[in-house]
C-alpha cells in the first residue's frame, strides 16, 4: 500500500502539480505587481489591526464594542494560520527534504515561498470577500468562494471533503507521529501512550470552538516561534565562519552543479517544493479558512497578513532548521531522517539538551497545528451539513482517532498519505483561484487607491463589485 501511494504521488507531483504551483505563483506575482515584496511594511502594520464589524458599518458604538469582543482580530487569524503552517513541516519536513533531495531542496523551498506568497494573498483575499456570517464569528474559505464565485456546488463540496481528509484527519496524524517520535527519542516514552495523552488534550480544546483555538494559538505561536528562532540565530552566530559554505552547497545542489547526499536537481526541486508547500500551505486552500474569520474593514488586509505568514514560516522558521542541519554536517547520514535528523543536528551543536529542546519545541509546534488543522475541517463540514452528530464524529476522529493512528504508524506511511491528499486539495484550489483571481486584483487596486488618497484604513463595500454584489453576503 505504501509503495502504491508513493507511485501515485510521484506521478501527480512530477507531471502536474509542481508546474501548476509555479505558474500560478508567477502569474499572481506579476498581476499584483509583486505585492509580496512591495507591501511588506503594510503587512507588518496590519498585525495590530483590531477586529471591526464588517457586517454593518452603521451600527452604534456599543454594537461595535460587542463586535470586537465576539469577532476574531487580524492578529488572531494570523496566529491560527501560522499555527498550522509552523509545525512538523518546519522541523521534520525540512529535515526530510534535505535527507532525500539534498541541501538544494532548501533553495526550492525559498523559491516556492517567495512566489507562493502572492498565491496566499489571492486566496485569502477571496476568502474575506465571500465570507459568511456565523453565530459568533465569520466563516469562509475556498468551498465558500467556489460556490458563490464560480457557482459550482459540486466542486465546493469536493474541496470541503478533501480539506477535511487532508487537514482534519491525515495532517493531524503527521503531527502526532512527529511528536511521538521526538518524545521517544528524547525521553524514551512509548509512542502509544504519548498519542493517548495527546488525543486527550486535543479533544479538550477542539470541543471549545474557534475562540478557544484562537486564544491558545495567539499565545503558543509567538512563544514557540521566537524561542526557536533565537536558538537558531545563536547557533548560526557560533558557527558564522561556516555560513558561506552552507549557502554555497545550497545553491550548487539546487542546480545540480554538485551532487550532495545523493540528490540531483530533480530530487532537490521535488522535495523542496513538496515540503515547502506542506510547510507554508500557499495555494493549498487551508489558510483562507481562518483568514475568512477575521473582522476587518477591507478584504485585502487579510490577504496581506496571510502573505506575511508564508514568509514567517518558510523564510524564517524553515531556514533556521535548514541552517542547523547543514552546519552540523549530518545531512548525508543515511540512518537519519525527519525529526531524528533535526534532533541529532541540534545535539551536535548544544549537547544532550538538543533532543530535549526539540522534543518540547515540536510538541508546541505540532500541537498548535493539530488544533488549527481541526478548525479547517470543522469550517468545511459546516459548509456541507449542519448535523451536530456529524460534527461530533468528526471531532472524535480529528482530535482522537487519527492522533492515535499517527502515534503508531510508520513515518513513511503518514507522509505519503498527506502528500496524496495535499496534491488533490491544492489542484482543486488552484483552479478556483485562477478563475476568481481577477476580483482579488481589483480589490488590491482599490486598496492601493485609497491608501494613495491618504486613507489610513481603507474600507470596502460590496457595491464596489456590482456584477457579483448579490453573491457577497457581508460587506454591506
Look at 15-19, 94-98, 107-111, 293-297 and tell me which has the smallest mean pLDDT.
Answer: 15-19
Look at 122-131, 244-253, 451-460 and tell me which has the smallest mean pLDDT.
Answer: 244-253
Nearest CA among 252, 285, 286 for reference residue 103: 252
Q: Tell me the HSE value of 304 on the side-chain side, using a 13 A CA sphere.
A: 24
In a domain, 440, yes or no: yes
Task: Return the pLDDT at 369.
Answer: 77
Could you give the percent of the chain with pLDDT greater than 70? 82
Mean pLDDT in residue range 226-244: 85
Task: Return the pLDDT at 96.
Answer: 79
Query: Phi and psi for 139 in degrees, rounded to 5?
Result: -145, 145
In a domain, 242, yes or no: yes
In a domain, 136, yes or no: yes
Task: Return the pLDDT at 443.
Answer: 96
* Residue found under cell 535528523: 341
Nearest CA among 89, 61, 48 for reference residue 301: 48
Mean pLDDT in residue range 96-109: 83
What SS3 string covers the chain?
CHHHHHHHHHHHHHHHHHHHHHHHHHHHHHHCCCHHHHCHHHHHHHHHCCCCCCCCCCCCHHHHHHHHHHCECHHHHHHHHHHHHCCHHHHHHHHHHHHHHCCHHHHHHHHHHHHHHHHHHHHHHHHHHCCEECCCCEECCHHHHHHHHHCCHHHHHHHHHHHHHHHHHHHHHHHHHHHHHHHHHHHCCCHHHHHHHHHHHHHHHHCCCHHHHHHHHHHHHHHHHHHHHHHHHHHHHHCHHHHHHHHHHHHHHHCCCCCECCECHHHHHHHHHHHHHHHHCCCCCCHHHHHCCECCCCHHHHHHHHHHHHHHHHHHHHHHHHHHHHHHCCCCCCCCCHHHHHHHHHHHHHCCHHHHHHHHHHHHHHHHHHHHHHHHHHHHHHHHCCCHHHHHHHHHHHHHHHHHHHHHCCHHHHHHHHHHHHHHHHHHHHHHHHHHHHHHHHHHHHHHHHHHCCCCCCCCCHHHCHHHHHHCCCCC
Rounded Cα distance between 165 and 158, Å, is 11
Mean pLDDT in residue range 203-209: 71
Dihedral sign of CA atoms 22, 23, 26, 32 in order:
negative
- Across 97-101, 186-190, 321-325, the highest mean pLDDT is recorded for 321-325
In a domain, 475, yes or no: no
Higher local confidence (pLDDT), 387 or 312: 387
- The predicted-structure confidence for 358-391, as pLDDT tens digits, reads as follows 777 777 777 777 877 887 788 789 889 889 899 8
Query: Phi and psi for 259 in degrees, rounded to 5?
Result: -80, 120
- The predicted-structure confidence for 411-436, as pLDDT tens digits, reads as follows 788 888 888 888 899 999 999 999 99
- The number of domains in the chain is 1
In a domain, 123, yes or no: yes
* Average pLDDT of the chain, as a whole number: 81
Tell me which residue range forms the domain holding 107: 2-465
- Across 14-18, 181-185, 205-209, 217-221, the highest mean pLDDT is recorded for 181-185
In a domain, 95, yes or no: yes
Nearest CA among 263, 278, 346, 343 for reference residue 314: 278
Mean pLDDT in residue range 250-275: 66
In a domain, 281, yes or no: yes
Task: Return the pLDDT at 333.
Answer: 75
In a domain, 473, yes or no: no
Task: Return the pLDDT at 431.
Answer: 95
* Residue found under cell 448579490: 470
* Residue found under cell 500557499: 282
Q: Tell me the HSE value of 469 on the side-chain side, using a 13 A CA sphere.
A: 9
392-402 residues labelled b (16+ CB within 10 A) or e (exposed):
eebbebbbbeb
CATH number of domain containing 341: 1.20.1740
Higher local confidence (pLDDT), 270 or 408: 408
Task: Return the pLDDT at 286.
Answer: 84
Task: Return the pLDDT at 217.
Answer: 58
Task: Return the pLDDT at 267.
Answer: 66
pTM over 0.85: no
Task: Return the pLDDT at 54.
Answer: 44
Task: Return the pLDDT at 33.
Answer: 94
Task: Return the pLDDT at 37.
Answer: 92
Task: Return the pLDDT at 69.
Answer: 45
How many Å from the N-terminal Cα to the C-terminal Cα in the chain?
51
Judged against a pLDDT cut of 60, whether residue 254 lies above it is answered with: yes
> What is each CA distance from 52 to 58, 125, 305, 469, in whole angstroms?
12, 17, 16, 21
Q: How confident is the model at residue 62 (pLDDT cuts 50, 70, 90)?
A: very low
Cβ contact 176:198 at 8 Å: yes
Amino acid at each position: 500500500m505504501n509503495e502504491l501511494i508513493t507511485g501515485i504521488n510521484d506521478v501527480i507531483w512530477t507531471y502536474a502539480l509542481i508546474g501548476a504551483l509555479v505558474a500560478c505563483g508567477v502569474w499572481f506575482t506579476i498581476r499584483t505587481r509583486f505585492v509580496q515584496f512591495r507591501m511588506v511594511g503594510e503587512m507588518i502594520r496590519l498585525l495590530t489591526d483590531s477586529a471591526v464589524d464588517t457586517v454593518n458599518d452603521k451600527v452604534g458604538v456599543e454594537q461595535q464594542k460587542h463586535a470586537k469582543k465576539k469577532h476574531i482580530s487580524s492578529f488572531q487569524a494570523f496566529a491560527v494560520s501560522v499555527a498550522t503552517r509552523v509545525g512538523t513541516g518546519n522541523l521534520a519536513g525540512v529535515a526530510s527534504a534535505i535527507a532525500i533531495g539534498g541541501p538544494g531542496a532548501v533553495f526550492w523551498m525559498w523559491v516556492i515561498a517567495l512566489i507562493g506568497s502572492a498565491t496566499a494573498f489571492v486566496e485569502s483575499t477571496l476568502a474575506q470577500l465571500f465570507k459568511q456570517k456565523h453565530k459568533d464569528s465569520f466563516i469562509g474559505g475556498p468551498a465558500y468562494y467556489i460556490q458563490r464565485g464560480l457557482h459550482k456546488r459540486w466542486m465546493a463540496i469536493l474541496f470541503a471533503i478533501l480539506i477535511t481528509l487532508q487537514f482534519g484527519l491525515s495532517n493531524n496524524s503527521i503531527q502526532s507521529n512527529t511528536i511521538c517520535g521526538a518524545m521517544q527519542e528524547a525521553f524514551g516514552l512509548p509512542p502509544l501512550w504519548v498519542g493517548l495523552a495527546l488525543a486527550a488534550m486535543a479533544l479538550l480544546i477542539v470541543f471549545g470552538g474557534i475562540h478557544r483555538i484562537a486564544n491558545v494559538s495567539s499565545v503558543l505561536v509567538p512563544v514557540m516561534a521566537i524561542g526557536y528562532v533565537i536558538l537558531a540565530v545563536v547557533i548560526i552566530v557560533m558557527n558564522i565562519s561556516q555560513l558561506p559554505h552552507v549557502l554555497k552547497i545550497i545553491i550548487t545542489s539546487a542546480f545540480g552543479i554538485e551532487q550532495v547526499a545523493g540528490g540531483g536537481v530533480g530530487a532537490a526541486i521535488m522535495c523542496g517544493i513538496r515540503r515547502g508547500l506542506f510547510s507554508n500551505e500557499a495555494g493549498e486552500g487551508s489558510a483562507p479558512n481562518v483568514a475568512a474569520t477575521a473582522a476587518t474593514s477591507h478584504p485585502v488586509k487579510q490577504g496581506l497578513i496571510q502573505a506575511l505568514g508564508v514568509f514567517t514560516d518558510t523564510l524564517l522558521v524553515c531556514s533556521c532548521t535548514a541552517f542547523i542541519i547543514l552546519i552540523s554536517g549530518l545531512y548525508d547520514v543515511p540512518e537519519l531522517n525527519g525529526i531524528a535528523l533535526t534532533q541529532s543536528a541540534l545535539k551536535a551543536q548544544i549537547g544532550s539538551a538538543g533532543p530535549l529542546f526539540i522534543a518540547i519545541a515540536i510538541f508546541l509546534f505540532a500541537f498548535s497545528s493539530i488544533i488549527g488543522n481541526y478548525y479547517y475541517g470543522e469550517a468545511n463540514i459546516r459548509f456541507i451539513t449542519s448535523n451536530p452528530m456529524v460534527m461530533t464524529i468528526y471531532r472524535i476522529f480529528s482530535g482522537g482517532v487519527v492522533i492515535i493512528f499517527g502515534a503508531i504508524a510508520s513515518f513513511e506511511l503518514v507522509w505519503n498519505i498527506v502528500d496524496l491528499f495535499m496534491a488533490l486539495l491544492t489542484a482543486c484550489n488552484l483552479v478556483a483561484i485562477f478563475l476568481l483571481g481577477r476580483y482579488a486584483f481589483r480589490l488590491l487596486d482599490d486598496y492601493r487607491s485609497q491608501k494613495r488618497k491618504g486613507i489610513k484604513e481603507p474600507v470596502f463595500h460590496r457595491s464596489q463589485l456590482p456584477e457579483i454584489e448579490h453573491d457577497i453576503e457581508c460587506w454591506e
